[in-house]
Amino acid sequence: MNEPSEQVDQLAYQVVGAAIEVHRVLGAGFLESVYAKAIAVELLLRGVAFEIEHPISLRYKGQPVGDARLDLLVGGLRIVELKAVERIIPIHHAQVINYLRATELQLGLLINFNVSKLTDGIERVVLTSH
């Protein structure tokens, strides 16, 4: 699926702005669920379309094998995975890559709120073709 890149970039900008505001107000140290609710409030205040815990169907060789839930699906085009961990590790990246594959989207954001400066906790994840 090819997303309109300008729209995807604008969604990323809006999500990052919302996340920075949430982190500015709450700081680090809360559970992921608190940040998820707070970013939902901030996105609503900004008029950004999103879905919380968007369900996706997982398939293996064309057969359904399970379900997963995205933390946020913004504008139907951008996956946002939220964390509140000491540090991002490779399995967090793998999770976003797998969500991108399952949804056939190309770009995601991985946001870790457990940092002193939020811009240090934001990573762009791109699904590249093999």
In whole angstroms, how far apart are CA 69 and each of 58, 62, 89, 116? 10, 19, 20, 28
6 against 26, higher pLDDT: 26
Please give the residue range of the domain that contains residue 42. 5-126
- Supply the pTM of this predicted model: 0.90
* The total number of structural domains that make up the chain: 1
Q: How confident is the model at residue 7 (pLDDT cuts 50, 70, 90)?
A: confident
pLDDT in tens, 71-130: 999 999 999 999 999 999 999 999 999 999 999 999 999 999 999 999 999 999 999 875
Backbone angles phi, psi at 3, to 5 degrees: -90, 150
